[in-house]
Amino acid sequence: MANRLSKWLITFSTGTLLSACLSTPPTDFYVLEPLSEPPPLSTATEKKRQIGIGPVSIPALLERKQIVTRLPDNSVKIAEFHQWASPLKDNVAQVLTHNLATLQADDLIRAYPWSAYGTVDYRIIIDIIRFDTHPEKTVNFEARWAIMNEKNHTLVSNGHSKIEHKLDAPSYPSAVKALSRVLSEFSQELSLALDKIK
């Protein structure tokens, strides 16, 4: 009798575990998208400036695979089944580098660390304070940035950027698209700042 009961318990436990595994939803993975426009043709004949992007920092809360949503009561939601395909900080840095290479066709844009290319003329240091979503409403971005002259180690320009975009739809794909648009807008701000120091 005890033997039969043990077998029944093992069968029941195995079936329950298999049922739980089968009902687990699949994980969706996302990447941020850079500007899609081709870079304009460069007409500059003088030596190109070399611009370094980075280091880029993000809040510790966002240094995880899962997408973070900020809730109205100041709590956060960690989306276990909606994750970044690569470390978020790396993806943000890649997108900013690509965007500025598109916007600043007369400059050479290098991602941090750029030691393989030698030195750069200017470095843009970026400290991201917010890069998250409010459920079904908006995405929010806030960052402080500084452009440094690497030849004489002086501050050339700095700023504080705050950008908010409404979501097209209450979904994670929509949120990621909106976050990509936010980075595009931020890239344009940095590009204007670079234009002023030419």
pLDDT tens sequence across 26-59: 999 999 999 876 555 555 546 789 999 999 999 9
Is residue 79 scored above 60 in pLDDT? yes
How many Å apart are CA 10 and CA 147, to the nearest integer? 64
CA nearest to 121, candidates 47, 178, 39, 38: 47
Point out which residues pair with 148 in neighbouring strands.
123, 155
Point out which residues pair with 70 in neighbouring strands.
76
What's the chain's Rg over C-alpha atoms? 23
Structural contact between residues 107 and 50, judged by C-beta atoms closer than 8 angstroms: yes
Find tokens 């005890």 and name the residue.
2
Point out which residues pair with 82 in neighbouring strands.
28
Q: Which residue has better confidence, 22 or 101?
A: 101
Across the chain, mean pLDDT equals 85
- C-alpha dist (Å) from residue 160 to 23, 26, 60, 68, 134: 46, 39, 19, 23, 21
Q: Is 125 left (phi over 0), alpha (psi -120 to 50) or beta?
A: beta
How many Å apart are CA 100 and CA 111, to the nearest integer? 10
**Domain 50-195 CATH class label:** alpha beta
Lookup: tokens for 30:
């996302």
Read off the pLDDT of residues 131-168 as tens digits, 9 standing for 90 and up. 988 877 889 999 999 999 999 999 999 999 999 988 88
Residue 20: predicted pLDDT: 45
Lookup: tokens for 29:
């993975």
38-42, 89-93, 154-158, 173-177: which has the minimum mean pLDDT?
Answer: 38-42
Provide the whole-model pTM: 0.83
Residue 18: predicted pLDDT: 45
